């Protein structure tokens, strides 16, 4: 495995003209959001059944399973703040280095930090669609979800005011295609430096994206990563905020 000192990473950033970032759950764990696949994650603790929570057929049949999870998830996230790395990416964007972020996360923290060009492969809670009349609601916050769920009478399910159908956040469930994948491919194909941050690259089709470019790729993640080693790929097994705080020391003059 090829590693990369923070100063060398800064040098790569300084010499790049088109940086693209792919983020996974690891960028948000230090903000207090548990990794679904981590030691205390949803898929390990089984507090919620992922087969029912994020399955589109189950949602259409009985949405309460998803909304029981959403009640706890949104209540937790309404007070969560972006991490150092989220804010660091803003600085790269403002410096003209970062061309776009592709994220697997549904937590909207990139937008909360101020990132402009964000492709959400798995969607997010920032918009929702009625499953009956197809009315779309945009610009939603976690407080909105908390208020709507709290105001539900006998069940935490959010109902469309227009037709009485189920409101589903525009999150990609099992059984649904990811969003804007072609746009993500195009962004990856044009980059000269790819940063993969906080992703084990175990989930398709996001895991395919780093394989589509011959550009220098820097992967920073705590734990194993499902990506073959090659001379243009660097693997850093370190906390993201710790690593990029070191990198930032060598970029202050430019930012």
Residues with catalytic function: 122
Closest to 70 in 3D by CA, of 163, 7, 152: 152
In degrees and rounded to multiples of 5, residue 28 shows phi and psi of -105, -10
Bridge partner residues of 21 (DSSP): 101, 195
Which residues on neighbouring strands pair with residue 145, listed in sequence order?
A: none
Q: Which two tokens stand for residue 70?
A: 């959403």
DSSP character at residue 48: S
Q: Is 175 left (phi over 0), alpha (psi -120 to 50) or beta?
A: left
Distance CA 2, CA 232 (A): 9
Candidates 205, 211, 196, 179; CA nearest to 243 is 196
Strand partners, 102: 22, 119
How far apart are alpha carbons 112 and 66 in whole angstroms? 24
């Amino acid at each position: 495995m090829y590693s990369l000192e923070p100063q060398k990473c800064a040098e790569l950033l300084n010499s790049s003209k088109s940086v693209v970032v792919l983020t996974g759950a690891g960028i948000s764990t230090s903000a207090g959001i548990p990794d679904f696949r981590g030691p205390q994650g949803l898929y390990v603790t089984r507090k919620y059944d992922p087969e029912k929570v994020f399955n589109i057929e189950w949602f259409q049949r009985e949405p309460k399973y998803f909304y029981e999870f959403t009640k706890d998830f949104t209540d937790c996230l309404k007070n969560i703040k972006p991490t150092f790395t989220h804010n660091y990416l803003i600085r790269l964007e403002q410096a003209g280095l970062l061309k776009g972020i592709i994220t697997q996360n549904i937590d909207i923290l990139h937008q909360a930090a101020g990132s402009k060009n964000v492709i959400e492969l798995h969607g997010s809670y920032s918009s929702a669609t009625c499953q009956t009349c197809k009315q779309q609601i945009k610009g939603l916050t976690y407080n909105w979800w908390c208020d709507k769920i709290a105001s539900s009478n006998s069940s935490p399910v959010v109902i469309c005011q227009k037709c009485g159908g189920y409101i589903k956040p525009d999150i990609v469930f099992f059984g649904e295609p990811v969003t804007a994948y072609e746009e993500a491919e195009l962004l990856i194909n044009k980059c000269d430096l790819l940063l993969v941050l906080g992703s084990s690259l175990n989930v398709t089709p996001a895991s395919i994206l780093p394989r589509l470019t011959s550009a220098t790729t820097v992967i920073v993640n705590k734990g194993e990563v499902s990506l073959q080693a090659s001379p243009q790929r660097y693997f850093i097994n370190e906390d993201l905020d710790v690593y990029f705080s070191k990198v930032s020391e060598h970029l202050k003059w430019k930012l």
